[in-house]
């Protein structure tokens, strides 16, 4: 693994479902050259695995705190992740 590459698992809460959050997150991640996935959770939150260069991951976490128009993000909690396999793309799941 590249020393500059990192991964985080983030949980985003607030009004984040039904506002195109996953499509927006995928587009933002792709602009930053990140890989991973984003998905809706049953509790109304959104979860995302974000992988790539540390600076780009940090920028993505800042963007997640803002969210797309129509969203109202109340919190973003992230933790270091060590994926079994590093994703090759950024996808929307679940």
Active site residues: 22, 40
- Is residue 81 within 8 A of residue 57, CB to CB? The reply is no
Burial degree of 22 (CB within 10 A; 0-12, 13-18, 19+): buried
**Cα distance between residue 57 and residue 51, in whole Å:** 7
């Amino acid at each position: 693994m590249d020393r500059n590459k990192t991964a985080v698992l983030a949980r985003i809460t607030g009004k984040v479902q039904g506002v195109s959050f996953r499509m927006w997150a995928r587009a933002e991640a792709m602009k930053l050259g990140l890989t991973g996935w984003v998905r809706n959770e049953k509790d109304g939150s959104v979860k995302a695995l974000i992988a790539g260069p540390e600076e780009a991951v940090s920028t993505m976490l800042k963007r997640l705190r803002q969210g797309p128009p129509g969203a109202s993000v109340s919190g973003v909690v992230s933790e270091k992740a060590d994926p079994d396999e590093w994703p090759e793309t950024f996808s929307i799941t679940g």
